[in-house]
Amino acid sequence: MSATGFLYDERYLEHLSGEGHPESPARLTKTVEFLEKQAWFKELHSLTPRHAEEEWLVSTHSMDYLNRARKACEDGYSYLDTPDVGISERSFDAALLAAGGALELGDKLIKGDIKNGFALLRPPGHHAETEFAMGFCLINNIAVLARYLQKRHGLEKICILDWDVHHGNGTQHTFEADPSVLFVSLHQFPFYPGTGSAWETGTGKGEGATLNCPMRGGSADTDYENAFRTVILPKVDSFKPDAVLISAGFDAHYSDPLANINLSTEFYGWMTERMLEAADKHAGGKLLSLLEGGYNLDYLPRCIALHLQKLAGVPVIKEIA
């Protein structure tokens, strides 16, 4: 049986957001350090990213924006568009590798080299708009991947589940008029970036293909489970996707410093299991997840490890709450 893919590259560390910025290289180095201590980690199928090709980037971003982002990094600007998108000279190259890592996962999945996969990448992507960087994000990795699976590999219907604590405004806006992409988001609300109300359900032909589940601050496992069972899973079942993609932010964890949702580590395993079941039921098991947020350097590695264990079918003896 094909293995679970794990994609990572040290070049992701070359993206520097600025001193004290929560989206730091340590998010990845601490995670890799933790994963390498796990006996099962060596059984994963290790993958290396490539630079995303321009033809796929312009499926979700304008050429003007891409040129502007590249030049801002090359010219040594400290941020792009908003002060929270800290950049350095190597940031655009890292962003190309992040998007290209997603594409590499897609290729290996369709080829059958992996049964599912996770990309430990940065910079994250789900806030990036067609023409604008925001929320630590330069290129919308999950959106580029969705279009790639459709245009390069011929899949028709893609489900994107975004469980990052912040609403994926960039992903929603990319697909809100497109009925072929179901975008589902659970996120703290009201909260940054201000979008993601329940009434935002898509526009035009895409009406009904956006599902927002805004969660109050203080929400916990039972609140999220209720949203899954009563709204999300029935919606995914009715949509019948050809692939399931996860914007896997781990900042809804109770320990995270940037938000106020109280999910346990264990619950990330529960959500992973439910989406694996949906992928098995409708998409021949095709599921890929990409790292978004998650800023507690002690618990981010543990949440990712549990997510990977569930993807790989590794028995979990003890889960860390």
- Give the catalytic positions in this structure: 127
d(Cα 148, Cα 251) in Å, to the nearest integer? 27
Q: Which amino acid appears at position 82 of this protein?
A: T
d(Cα 77, Cα 305) in Å, to the nearest integer? 35
Torsion of CA 235, 269, 48, 112, to 10 degrees: -60
Q: How far is CA 220 from the centre of its chain?
A: 21
Give the position of tokens 């600025």: 18
Give Cα separations from 260 to 188, 189, 251, 252 (angstroms).
7, 10, 9, 7
**Which 8-state DSSP code applies to residue 88?**
-
Helix (H, G, I), strand (E, B), or coil: what is residue 254? Answer: coil
Return the H-helix or E-strand segment holding 161: strand 158-162
Contact 173, 132 (CB under 8 A): no
Which tokens sit at 2? Answer: 């094909």
Give the position of tokens 């929320």: 135
Contact 124, 23 (CB under 8 A): yes
- Residue of 315, 307, 305 whose CA lies nearest to 41: 305
Beta bridge partners of 117: 5, 288
Alpha helices (H) in 54-200, listed in sequence order = 54-57, 63-74, 91-111, 141-151, 169-175
